[in-house]
Structures are given as C-alpha cells and as structure tokens.
Amino acid sequence: MKKALITGINGQDGSYLAELLLSKNYKVFGLMRRKSKLDYGNIKHIKDKIEIIYGDMTDIVSLINAVKLSQPDEVYNLAAQSFVATSWEQPIATSEIDALGVTNLLEAIRTIKPEAKFYQASTSEMYGLVQEIPQSENTKFYPRSPYGVAKLYGHWITVNYRESYNMYACSGILFNHESERRGKEFVTRKITDTVARIKLGLLDVLELGNMSAKRDWGHSKDYVKAMWLMLQQEKADDYVVASGETHEVREFVSSAFKAVGMDIEFKGTGIDEIGVDKATQKTVVKVNPKYFRPSEVELLLGSPEKAERELNWEREISFNELVKLMVENDIKLVGEEIL
Ligand code: NAP
Ligand code: G4F
C-alpha cells in the first residue's frame, strides 16, 4: 500500500486529491492546522479514512514530525495562504507559508525520507503581467502580487532541490481551478453563491471588482489527477495544467445567471458598469472599487500541451459544466439554509 502525505488536506484541492488517492488504495495522511473549534472543512465526509497530523508550514518541527510519522512515498504540498487579495494585507505571513514553508517541507523530506516524491502546488499567478500568450513551461515569470512572488520562490526552490539533491520534486503550474468546494471569497464561488441568493430572493445585487480580468478556469477534480500523474513518471519535471480557454469574469457572471434562467445585459463602463436583468430591468450586478487590486493579473491562458502529451492528462469538465455544477450546488445549499 502506497503512503501519501497531503498538506492543506482540508482545502479544496486537498479534499479531491485525498478522494482520488483513497480510490487508488493509498494510505492517506493529511496535515492540518489546529483550529480553536475543530472543523474538518472539505474532508468531513472522509475524515475517518484519513490519518490527520496537526502541523503548520511555518513550523519545521511539525513538518519533520509529519514526515517521520507518515514515512510517505509521495508528498503533495498544497498548503498555502491561497487568496491573492489577502497577500497585500498579510505579505509576511503569505511569504512565510507559501515561500519559506516549501523549504521547511523539502528540508524535512531531505532529512527523513529523501526518496519520497514531492509535488509543489505552483500557480499561473507567477506569470502575472504575462510575457507571452498562451503561457507554457517556457514562458518568463512576472508575478504581480505578494502571493505570486512567494509562490515563485516555492517553484524555484523545488527546481533547486531537484537539481541540487537529485530529489524527485515536481512543480505543477496550475491555472485557476474551481469547484463546489471553492472558498466563497474567490470570484467564481462568490458569483455562484450570490446568484443563488438573488434567485431565491435573499439578495438584490452582486458587487464585483474588475470584471474584465480573464482567467483560464477548470474543475479541481480534473486538476488533482494531473498532480498524481506528475508523481507517477520516471523523471521529475514541471508541467502547466490548464484548460486552454480564457473567459472574462463578466462571462462567468452571465453564464451563472443563465444557469438559473436569468438573462443579463451589461451597460456602462469602468466603475459605472452595471448588469441588468433583461426580464425585470432590475440592476443585479454593480462594480465596487473596494474589490480592485493594487496590481492586477489581466489575462491568463495556459497551454496544457506538455501535460496532455507526456502525462496523458485530459480535462473532462468544460467551462459551462463547471459553472452549472457550482450554481446548482449553491441553489441547493442556500435552499437548505432557508428551509
Ligand atoms: P485552499 O482551499 O485555500 O486550501 C489551502 C489549504 O492550505 C487549506 O487547507 C489551509 O488550511 C492550508 N494552510 C494555509 N496555511 C497553512 C499553514 N500555515 N500550515 C498548514 N496549512 C495551511 O486552496 P486550494 O484552492 O485547495 O489550492 C491548493 C494549493 O494550490 C494552494 O497552494 C494554492 O496556492 C495552489 N493553487 C491553487 C489554484 C486554484 O485555482 N485553486 C491554482 C494554482 C495553485 P486552513 O483551513 O487552516 O486555512
Ligand atoms: O477568484 P480570484 O480571487 O482568483 P485569482 O486571483 O485568479 O487567484 C486564484 O487563482 C490562482 C491561479 O491563477 C491561484 F494561484 C490562487 O491561489 C487563486 O486560487 O480572482 C479572479 C479574478 C481577479 O482578476 C480579480 O480581480 O477575478 C477578479 N475579481 C473581480 N471581482 C474578483 C472580484 N475577485 C474576487 N475574489 N472578488 C471579487 O469581487
């Protein structure tokens, strides 16, 4: 039986990856932070099948302990302060977790179980002010947020430990991936949750920031398969995982309203832009400048060509299916709240 250690197991990706590895008969260990009130988050339904180890990416002692206890064949480092907007408010914490935390974990592995295979959750945010369209493994990085900068360190230290110590260490450069388990602060889930509340009469308006930003969105379930595939190869390498399509935030909004039978027309520009329900002529979308970022990543579009060719990875859930799954799930959850 293979053993895997997943950091950030209770997050969106951690939960789907744990399900995938359990289905492949792995013994799964999950690193979680201690909370004042015990909350298993996204792994409530599988917590009894997982061995939880308490620890923190900023505390190398806890990571050494986690590697000692689990003796893993594979380590997936998914733990991060993952919300870009927060990285301007907490740049030091973000760096300690997302940058130095990676070195802490690599050192713990190098000391205790250097033959373990390692996956680092790198990100398309590292491309930031994109230097090329589409972005591939060879595109130059230009991060635009403290989060992007910290993740770029995590990426290079992973490459460096592979080259310095011959460790099997991979960096997966994943483009945005969402799901029914996405945190509600991220734009997709904020949209689907608010659309559900508007449809059910609990809210009137969805307030957003930059609706012109373009993202390459996929479903987390598809993307965790690529993480696993990266650790099943003969040689460690880095891979872009993306849908190969880009959509404006505005398109996600239209598509989410369409999923509940509402047709939206956008009027005006910049901070005066509004989204109007064609049937009632009511304003249901507004811009609120408080959601603008100090510097923005305007366009992400990834090329998954290498992952498709070398890992045989393919995505199964399309953009429209993703939006529909998320909206239907939020209609159900919000409906249950008001029962
Ligand atoms: P997520 O839902 O925010 O999960 C992040 C996890 O990290 C949570 O379990 C969180 O635990 C944990 N964590 C945060 N700080 C920690 C610390 N100091 N020590 C230990 N654990 C800590 O993020 P996700 O969407 O699943 O993303 C997984 C990884 O992929 C992240 O590294 C993210 O940066 C990266 N990534 C995500 C995307 C995407 O579009 N989703 C794209 C590219 C890369 P708490 O519950 O205690 O906060
Ligand atoms: O959903 P977002 O917060 O995701 P963002 O910043 O792209 O980051 C996500 O994807 C990265 C991969 O590229 C991950 F590494 C990272 O961990 C995270 O998972 O914002 C998407 C876009 C941005 O351009 C933002 O400015 O939506 C725009 N936006 C417009 N209005 C908004 C809002 N974002 C949020 N969160 N809330 C708004 O009201």
Could you write out the DSSP letters of every residue in 245-287? --EEHHHHHHHHHHHTT--EEEES-GGG-EEEETTT--EEEEE
**Whether residue 33 has its Cβ less than 6 Å from ligand 2:** no
Q: What is the pLDDT of residues 200-238, one digit of tens each?
A: 999 999 999 999 999 999 999 999 999 999 999 999 999
Phi and psi at residue 213, to the nearest 5°: -60, 145
Residues with CB under 6 A from ligand 1: 7-8, 10-14, 33, 41, 56-58, 78-82, 97, 121, 123, 174, 176-177, 183
**Atom number of ligand 2 nearest to Cα 178:** 19
Positions marked catalytic: 123, 125, 147
Question: Is beta strand 283-287 parallel, antiparallel or unpaired with respect to 274-277?
Answer: antiparallel
Residue 287: how many CB atoms within 10 A of its CB?
20
3-state class (DSSP) for residue 218: strand
**What distance in angstroms lies between residue 265's CA and the mean position of ligand 1's atoms?**
35
126, 218, 78, 37: CA torsion to nearest 10: 120
Q: What is the CATH number of domain 3-178+218-241?
A: 3.40.50.720
**What distance in angstroms lies between residue 187's CA and the mean position of ligand 2's atoms?**
6
Distances (CA, A) of 203 to 56, 198, 338: 38, 5, 13
DSSP 8-state symbol, 212:
T
Ligand with smallest separation from the Cα of 185 = 2
pLDDT of residue 263: 98
Ligand with smallest separation from the Cα of 177 = 1
**Whether residue 193 has its Cβ less than 6 Å from ligand 2:** no
**Whether residue 214 has its Cβ less than 6 Å from ligand 2:** no
Q: What is the pLDDT of residues 5-47, one digit of tens each?
A: 999 999 999 999 999 999 999 999 999 999 999 999 999 999 9
Mean pLDDT by 10 residues, the chain (339 residues): 98 98 98 96 97 98 98 99 98 98 99 98 99 98 98 99 98 99 98 98 98 98 99 98 98 98 97 98 98 98 98 98 98 95
**Whether residue 96 has its Cβ less than 6 Å from ligand 2:** no
What are the helix (H) ranges across the chain? 12-23, 60-70, 86-89, 91-95, 101-112, 146-165, 187-199, 220-230, 249-259, 305-311, 319-338
pLDDT of residue 339: 85
Give the fold, CATH level 3, of 187-214+247-298+317-337: UDP-galactose 4-epimerase; domain 1 (3.90.25)
Question: Is beta strand 117-123 parallel, antiparallel or unpaired with respect to 214-215?
Answer: unpaired
How far apart, in whole angstroms, are the C-alpha atoms of residue 26 and residue 325?
28
pLDDT of residue 57: 99
Pocket test for ligand 1, best of 29, 78, 90, 103 (most atoms within 8 A of CB): 78
Contact by Cβ (8 Å): 220, 279: no
Ligand with smallest separation from the Cα of 294 = 2
Proportion of the chain above pLDDT 90, given as a percent: 99
Which H helix or E strand runs over 219?
strand 218-219
Dihedral sign for Cα 298, 219, 43, 192, please.
Answer: positive
Residue 333: how many CB atoms within 10 A of its CB?
13
**Atom number of ligand 2 nearest to Cα 174:** 12
CA 11 to chain centre: 9
Report which protein residue has its CA nearest ligand 1's atom 20.
56
**Whether residue 128 has its Cβ less than 6 Å from ligand 2:** no
Phi and psi at residue 232, to the nearest 5°: -105, 10
**What distance in angstroms lies between residue 306's CA and the mean position of ligand 1's atoms?**
25
Ligand with smallest separation from the Cα of 184 = 2
Residue-wise burial string across 135-168, b where 16 or more C-beta atoms lie within 10 A, e elsewhere: bbeebebebbbbbbbbbbbbbbbbbebbeeeebb
> What phi-psi label fits residue 315: left (phi over 0), alpha (psi between -120 and 50 degrees) or beta?
beta
Residue ranges of the domains in the chain? 3-178+218-241, 187-214+247-298+317-337
**What distance in angstroms lies between residue 213's CA and the mean position of ligand 2's atoms?**
9
